[in-house]
């Protein structure tokens, strides 16, 4: 079997499990500390334009002027996060994005939301490996306060996730989910 020459971040983006013995694993920590420097600046900024500019640097793409972010925000990498237009992200959210996070247009994210696109195997001998799976939040979704969305989950268009929910499975379009684990509470009709 030949040596994998792909960049570790591209491998993560493609969903490859990375073991702690991977020769490039150290790059994840180094990138996290580089992101932390920008986060300190962003989380101490007070002007919306400056916050958007620093967030653009963190994620590596332009943030639309219709996006509003109330800091602090905590991101471990940043470059695997995509944010659409007219998105509102409230105070004290956590994004672990090595597996990828996509936030489409018109999404509301309440305070203390955790988007965790990374996990670990349950087996003791492999537990320090990292399993990345993308999170996608579709157009017009509303994520309530203190929600945790786990790796590999898609939140459907127009969906609402009730405060305090832990979402471990996909949420269909036009539904309200809540609880631990989150379950469908009702459908949304126009």
Q: What is the pLDDT of residues 86-99, one digit of tens each?
A: 999 999 999 999 99
Per-residue pLDDT, 81:
97
Nearest C-alpha neighbor of 55 from the set 108, 116, 65: 65
Per-residue pLDDT, 21:
92
Alpha carbon distance 165, 48 (integer Å): 29
Per-residue pLDDT, 190:
75
Alpha carbon distance 98, 151 (integer Å): 10
Phi/psi at 161 (nearest 5 deg)? -110, 115
- Structural domains of the chain, ranges and CATH numbers in brackets: 8-187 (2.160.10.10)
* pLDDT level of residue 4 (50, 70, 90 thresholds): low
Per-chain mean pLDDT for the chain:
95
* pLDDT level of residue 2 (50, 70, 90 thresholds): very low
Nearest C-alpha neighbor of 7 from the set 21, 20, 34, 25: 25
Beta carbons within 8 Å of 32's beta carbon, 6+ residues apart = 76, 77
Task: Render pLDDT for 111-121 as a digit per residue (tens, 0 to 9).
Answer: 999 999 999 99
Task: Render pLDDT for 14-55 as a digit per residue (tens, 0 to 9).
Answer: 999 999 999 999 999 999 999 999 999 999 999 999 999 999
Alpha carbon distance 10, 17 (integer Å): 12
Per-residue pLDDT, 5:
58
Kindly tell me if the per-residue pLDDT of 151 is higher than 60. Answer: yes
* pLDDT level of residue 137 (50, 70, 90 thresholds): very high
Active site residues: 120
Nearest C-alpha neighbor of 9 from the set 36, 28, 26: 28
* pLDDT level of residue 1 (50, 70, 90 thresholds): very low
Instruction: Report how far apart, in Å, the C-alpha atoms of 92 and of each of 62, 74, 85, 148 are.
Output: 22, 7, 20, 13
């Amino acid at each position: 079997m030949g040596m994998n020459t792909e960049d570790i971040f591209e491998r993560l983006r493609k969903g490859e499990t990375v073991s702690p013995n991977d020769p490039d694993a150290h790059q994840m920590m180094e990138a996290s500390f580089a992101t932390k420097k920008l986060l300190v600046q962003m989380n101490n900024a007070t002007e919306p334009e400056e916050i958007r500019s620093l967030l653009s640097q963190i994620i590596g793409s332009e943030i639309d002027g219709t996006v509003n972010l109330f800091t602090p925000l905590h991101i471990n990498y940043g470059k695997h996060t995509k944010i659409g237009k007219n998105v509102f992200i409230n105070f004290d959210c956590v994004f672990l994005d090595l597996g990828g996070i996509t936030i489409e247009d018109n999404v509301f994210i309440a305070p203390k939301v955790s988007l965790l696109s990374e996990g670990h195997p349950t087996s003791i001998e492999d537990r320090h490996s990292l399993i990345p799976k993308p999170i996608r939040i579709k157009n017009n979704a509303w994520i309530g306060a203190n929600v945790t969305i786990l790796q590999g989950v898609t939140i459907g268009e127009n969906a609402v996730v009730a405060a305090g929910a832990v979402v471990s499975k996909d949420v269909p379009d036009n539904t309200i989910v809540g609880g631990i684990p989150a379950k469908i509470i009702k459908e949304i009709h126009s």
